[in-house]
Structure 1
Amino acid sequence: MKKIYVILLLVAAAIPFVSCSKDADDLVEEPMLIIKFKFDPTQARLNNLGQPSTVAAGNAAQSPIFNLISSHYVELAPNANTQLGNGTILYHAPETTLGGSNAIDFSKSKIVSEGETFLRIPLSQVAAGSYEWMRVSLSYQNYQISVRAANGNDYDGTLASFVGFNTYITSFDIENTTFPVNANRAQGYWAFALNDHPYSTSGQALPGATTVPNPIEATSPIPRNLNTCVVTGRFASNLVIDGTETNDVVITLSLSSNNSFEWHEVNADGKYEPAAGEEVVDMGLRGLIPTYVK
């Protein structure tokens, strides 16, 4: 009798644990909105108005191989008349005044590689609606480029490009080189280091030189005086969020890297030669094509 009583006690004690485990298994994760980046050197090369663009006379360009990217701002826009800021804002990166004027806080920026999740938020936080356009304010790029040295040899190097309106930077690393800044840097600041060689440098592109394609500039202009890098792209078919979704919605932002790194030539040979005094004139990505899977 004693043994039976003990067994019954053990079974009774186990019931709550079995029940809790079952309840946990029954929980279904809320559907999410997920955003990822893609880089395409074959995608159309666009100008500020979203029209096909060739490399300017006297300049040369190359399609860099992207390592990393970051965005400062992400917005869904219902139509071509939706003004910047009046759509559904999905993300706004941290900012700071530590460097004086307001700036993106680079130390808190989320930096990702191609295919890695940049943003993941519950779909319940996304306003229901039909969205035709996507706006993405890019802030940081990290990619591989080819450089011709004074000795005539070509080398691979890594370039960090800050294309946000203004960025407060403490320090950052490229390869084995650390760049201490501890200040704000305007749009167009860049730094470069040769891969596996002890050479590095940095510079600043001219104000307003960064291309920011916006095909709906006529109806929804991006304030150029703010130097925001808000690239705009259209979905092939509207993204409809109605609040009844049960699956994740994954948006892929395909960015055109087609000859996106551009410089002014001193030696007209199509090679980037900083030792010859060739200066970077544009580092803006050349178009956005958003797609989604529901």
Structure 2
Amino acid sequence: MAKITSGFRLPLTVVLLSVATLFSCNKDVKEFVSQYFQSEADPDGIRLDRDGNASTIASGDIGITPDSIRNIGIHYLELVPDAGTAYKNGIIIYRSAETFEGGEIAIDFDSLLFVAPGTAIFNANLRKIPPGTYSYIRASVACISYDMQIDLDDIPGVDEANDVPSTFYSFLGYRTYIRIIQGDSLTQEVNANRALGFWLLETKQPGSAWNKIFQSQVNSNQVTVVNELSGTAPIPNTTGVITGRFEEPLVITGEEPDDLYITLTFSVNDVLEVEDSNGDGNWDINYQFDVLSEVLKDHGLRSLRATFEYR
């Protein structure tokens, strides 16, 4: 069971290529140079639309930037040589497990590696990456969780509560099979596939008996999935695969003496876009979660930048 909490950790090292391939002879062992991937979330990052253009909040809506980022679960990574490289025609570095348990193929939520920002996701043998220049990168974030605050209305016996501490779970993979989500104090069973745009929110007001998990679905085609190469290498929005760029091209020669560290930085600048129907500048959710709740219109990540260094 995958539990996403601030203290949750899974093993950080995953060998992506088979042991037989990596260690088939002494030469491979001697020449093992590691490639590490880690992720960050930037609250001040550039905010783009799905075609990679600057994006602003629509009139009547508000943007919400999380107070903090808890964990990130990556499903897919691909190194992309140039702007004309089609989806899946680059070097696929990583793909997490998938399952047919929910009927259609889906990302297996329980198999995702959830790590805190700044923590290594996995490593692989750099020698197995074909020499060349890689200017872009593609990534699918299956799930990312945030700490934030909401206003809660019509609570039985309480009426309303403002600035309620909450954790928001954003599902951004093409489709994810979820069995159970264990929050800080509440559990939500799903046992089904959920499409790109699914979300849950757990309220965590200290000492309150009325804490609750809310869940809903934003239409997959309305969720922003940034593709900065949409003009030359289009990808269906429903894949959930973000395309971003290296700040400077990554050049692999095959002769690197040091380990390579690649950092993926996702923009969470106004990552939630909410219809602010009462104009108070906050996200108001009705406790009964009915039509009186303000509608979450989008929670897609807003850009991807990659940097690297040798150590």
Same fold judged by TM-score > 0.5? yes
**56-65 vs 89-98, greater mean Cα deviation:** 56-65
**263-272 vs 192-201, greater mean Cα deviation:** 192-201
Specify which structure has the higher proportion of helix: 1
Query: Are 1:159 and 2:168 matched, yes or no?
Result: yes
1:199 deviation in Å? 2.0
Structure with bigger gyration radius: 1
Structure 2 runs not aligned, ≥5 long: 1-28, 154-159, 287-291
1:208 deviation in Å? 1.0
One of 52, 60, 67 as aligned partner of 2:54: 52
Q: CA RMSD in A?
A: 1.4
Q: Determine the C-alpha separation between the residues in 2 that align with 1:29 and 1:274.
A: 56
One of 89, 112, 117 as aligned partner of 2:115: 112
Q: Determine the C-alpha separation between the residues in 2 that align with 1:132 and 1:187.
A: 27
One of 255, 265, 269 as aligned partner of 2:266: 255
One of 129, 137, 141 as aligned partner of 2:140: 137
One of 160, 185, 206 as aligned partner of 2:194: 185
One of 45, 69, 77 as aligned partner of 2:80: 77
> Contact 2:72–2:116 at 8 Å: present in 1 too?
yes
Q: Determine the C-alpha separation between the residues in 2 that align with 1:28 and 1:270.
A: 58
One of 261, 277, 280 as aligned partner of 2:296: 280
Q: Determine the C-alpha separation between the residues in 1 that align with 2:220 and 2:198.
A: 10
Query: What is residue 217 of structure 1 aligned with on the other side?
Result: 230
Q: Determine the C-alpha separation between the residues in 1 that align with 2:115 and 2:239.
A: 20
Query: Are 1:200 and 2:213 matched, yes or no?
Result: yes
In the superposition, the TM-score normalised over structure 2's length comes to: 0.83
**238-247 vs 192-201, greater mean Cα deviation:** 192-201
Q: Determine the C-alpha separation between the residues in 1 that align with 2:258 and 2:30.
A: 11
Q: Letter of the aligned partner of 2:46 in structure 1? A: A
Following TM superposition, where does structure 1 have runs of at least 4 consecutive aligned residues deviating by more than 6 angstroms? none
Equivalenced residue count is: 266
**106-115 vs 268-277, greater mean Cα deviation:** 268-277
Q: Map 1:226-245 to 2 at 5 A.
A: 227-245=238-256
Query: What is residue 100 of structure 2 aligned with on the other side?
Result: 97
> Contact 1:31–1:122 at 8 Å: present in 2 too?
yes
In the superposition, the TM-score normalised over structure 1's length comes to: 0.87
Structure 1 runs not aligned, ≥5 long: 1-26
Q: Determine the C-alpha separation between the residues in 1 that align with 2:179 and 2:43.
A: 31
1:265 deviation in Å? 1.9
> Contact 1:34–1:120 at 8 Å: present in 2 too?
yes
Percent identity, aligned pairs only? 35
